[in-house]
A and B are shown apart, each in its own frame.
Chain A
């Protein structure tokens, strides 16, 4: 393996550590929420009993969508724009977004019962996690910030790989938990980083694109598409080609038969799987229906689309997946990879574990940097150490409370999403404050792990008490999504309690190591007890 010159090594190391320290905690939030959101469909069913799988066949798209659209349009004026996210399986909910003169709405519909819940008034747990994944609580700037974090994450991955390139194989087989703390953290950082390198590279790359696409597309939109971002997204395979639709006066009030059009689209090409349907001008003479999909089982490939006349059902234009342009193929392949839309449940679980490992890579890198500077005893380092504990470990109890709040809020609560956001961010903020004022960081980690683990273990209990869906009932009903979340919560809770039990918060520090923390809360305090955050 080639080695860097000493100067290049030092500069690369500095670039890697500076980038990691600046973006580390934000990147941790992206990976932690991303790992959870790999199961967003399951979590949505867990928090919304109306969306849980029920026995019976999936109802037709028309039967599912019509009551929703009638309700949103008050039965008179159908929404002018309707977007349907089609279910992948018979148990997945149908997503409906409708916009028109009555405003815009989006709902999830149970594919068997037709029951629907609005988003985000209900389904707020998934929504909160989803928005946090790209900091959308602060709007578009949050999204751009997430993209920048991804971009600098790419820099951190590159510089980190360059630094370790000369001994990447040796480091991979080296983990010495019995050595000094900084050695143990550094070993864990390098081993986990090497294992997850392709995974992390893929996620920071695709994450940077999805976060920054609104800015990335600007030069293209202005240069090539007359300033239209919609045309850029069309080129990227999200929409069908534009087409002129002639009006048909004789069928002006006829709504398109969605199920029939989806079935026709599915038969257009071998293994074509319609993913979305978009209806423009529903119920008008110029109505058109776009069906966009991709070939089943493909990871790298673009979307194909067919456009039908909404009133007559006549096929207006088609573009096969095999004829997709380079941008379409590139962007849609990134979508498939980023959202783990391939490989089934086993791959989703693997991605979840790699996501958790990536969180560990970020934290061990952070902790290594802090341990190396432990003797400097700088206020900023002490605060960063505590902030890391509050933000990272505090995320666990806050998330568990988020899930509990999703089940525990009374149905009559107005604006439940406000309460749920308040409980989540409030408890997370409390965890950070707790970490900042407590001088023993190891004990902070342990207390937050115990709180988070205990709360996570309560999730199946809360679900059973509130909805009656105890694990044995969901097993019998075949509600695997709900059961999976319950089991996942128990496993996560058990793991957190196990780590907490393994932390040796009273271990003696290495000779000549740490002196008194210098935070404001400590200035009048006695010298700290000899505590270290150590693996047992």
Chain B
């Protein structure tokens, strides 16, 4: 390894990659079909096609984040924001 990983950093970021990467992905898929002002098929296509790059971006961010806490905070916040927006739109609708 080129970077000097501490044990806590390695495990914390790995967990963020596995858990929050998936959470952001699912939240993004739901966000696309519920919140975006487009047709159902466009929303699904956006979720399907855009979901994987979003997952990669989330995972990459978790790796690059300055601290484990920041990785969890930003990705957790992003997942909550996407899921919350979808829930809000669903309830308002």
Q: Do A and B bind each other?
A: yes
Known A224-B40, A327-B41; contact A14-B48, beta-carbon cutoff 8 A: no
Q: Which of B41, B42, B55 contacts A151 (CB 8 A)?
A: B55
CA distance A330 to B47 in the complex (A): 11
Asked if B29 is at the interface of the complex by the 8 Å CB criterion, the answer is yes
CA distance A12 to B60 in the complex (A): 8
- Residues in B whose Cβ lies below 8 Å from that of A325: 39, 41-42, 45
Decide: B64 and A11 in contact? CB cutoff 8 A: yes
Asked if B35 is at the interface of the complex by the 8 Å CB criterion, the answer is no
CA distance A521 to B63 in the complex (A): 38
Closest to A302 in B: B41
Name which of A50-58, A152-160, A178-186, A280-288 contacts chain B.
A152-160
Closest to A17 in B: B1
Decide: A15 and B56 in contact? CB cutoff 8 A: no
CB distance from B16 to the nearest CB of A (A): 12
- Residues in A whose Cβ lies below 8 Å from that of B48: 209, 216, 327, 330-331
Asked if B69 is at the interface of the complex by the 8 Å CB criterion, the answer is no
- Residues in B whose Cβ lies below 8 Å from that of A154: 52-53, 56
- Residues in B whose Cβ lies below 8 Å from that of A18: 1
CA distance A219 to B30 in the complex (A): 7
Which residues 1-45 of A have a CB within 8 angstroms of B? Answer: 7-15, 17-18
Asked if B33 is at the interface of the complex by the 8 Å CB criterion, the answer is yes
CA distance A219 to B45 in the complex (A): 13
Known A219-B30, A220-B33; contact A158-B52, beta-carbon cutoff 8 A: no
Known A235-B41, A331-B48; contact A10-B60, beta-carbon cutoff 8 A: no
CA distance A262 to B61 in the complex (A): 51
Decide: B3 and A11 in contact? CB cutoff 8 A: yes
Among A10, A151, A327, A328, max chain B CB count under 10 A is at A327
Decide: A330 and B64 in contact? CB cutoff 8 A: no
Q: Which of B2, B40, B49 contacts A10 (CB 8 A)?
A: B2
Among A12, A220, A224, A325, max chain B CB count under 10 A is at A220
Q: Which of B5, B26, B42, B49 contacts A219 (CB 8 A)?
A: B26
CB distance from B11 to the nearest CB of A (A): 13
CB distance from B40 to the nearest CB of A (A): 6
Decide: A209 and B60 in contact? CB cutoff 8 A: no
A contact residues, range? 20 to 34
CA distance A330 to B45 in the complex (A): 7
- Residues in B whose Cβ lies below 8 Å from that of A328: 41
CA distance A14 to B62 in the complex (A): 13
Known A14-B5, A208-B52, A224-B33; contact A159-B45, beta-carbon cutoff 8 A: no
Closest to B3 in A: A10
Decide: B33 and A223 in contact? CB cutoff 8 A: yes
Which residues 35-83 of A have a CB within 8 angstroms of B? Answer: none
Asked if A326 is at the interface of the complex by the 8 Å CB criterion, the answer is yes
Asked if A205 is at the interface of the complex by the 8 Å CB criterion, the answer is yes
Which residues 29-75 of B have a CB within 8 angstroms of A? Answer: 29-30, 33-34, 39-42, 44-49, 51-53, 55-56, 59-60, 63-64
Decide: B63 and A15 in contact? CB cutoff 8 A: yes
Decide: B2 and A13 in contact? CB cutoff 8 A: yes
Q: Mark A97-124, 1 if CB is under 8 A from B, else 0.
A: 0000000000000000000000000000
Closest to A13 in B: B2
Which residues 313-327 of A have a CB within 8 angstroms of B? Answer: 325-327
- Residues in A whose Cβ lies below 8 Å from that of B46: 326
Decide: A12 and B41 in contact? CB cutoff 8 A: no
Closest to A237 in B: B41
CA distance A239 to B3 in the complex (A): 50
Decide: B45 and A14 in contact? CB cutoff 8 A: no
CB distance from A293 to the nearest CB of B (A): 19
Known A219-B29, A223-B30; contact A326-B39, beta-carbon cutoff 8 A: yes
CB distance from A329 to the nearest CB of B (A): 8
Decide: B63 and A235 in contact? CB cutoff 8 A: no
- Residues in A whose Cβ lies below 8 Å from that of B33: 220, 223-224
CA distance A154 to B51 in the complex (A): 12
Known A14-B2, A235-B44, A331-B48; contact A223-B34, beta-carbon cutoff 8 A: yes
- Residues in B whose Cβ lies below 8 Å from that of A209: 48, 52
Among B29, B30, B45, B53, max chain A CB count under 10 A is at B45
Decide: A151 and B52 in contact? CB cutoff 8 A: yes
CB distance from A394 to the nearest CB of B (A): 29
CB distance from A319 to the nearest CB of B (A): 12
- Residues in B whose Cβ lies below 8 Å from that of A327: 41-42, 44-45, 48
CA distance A155 to B56 in the complex (A): 6
Q: Which of A10, A15, A220 contacts B29 (CB 8 A)?
A: A220
Closest to A159 in B: B60
CB distance from A152 to the nearest CB of B (A): 9
Known A205-B52, A330-B45; contact A11-B63, beta-carbon cutoff 8 A: yes
CA distance A235 to B55 in the complex (A): 24
Decide: A155 and B49 in contact? CB cutoff 8 A: no
Decide: B41 and A216 in contact? CB cutoff 8 A: no
Q: List 10 contacting pairs A-B, 8 Å CB cutoff, sorted by A.
A: A14-B2, A15-B63, A154-B53, A155-B60, A219-B29, A219-B30, A223-B33, A224-B44, A235-B44, A330-B45
A residues with a Cβ closer than 8 A to B are: 7-15, 17-18, 151, 154-155, 158-159, 162, 205, 208-209, 216, 219-220, 223-224, 235, 325-331
Known: A14-B2, A223-B30, A326-B39. 5 other contacts (CB 8 A): A14-B63, A151-B52, A151-B56, A154-B52, A220-B33
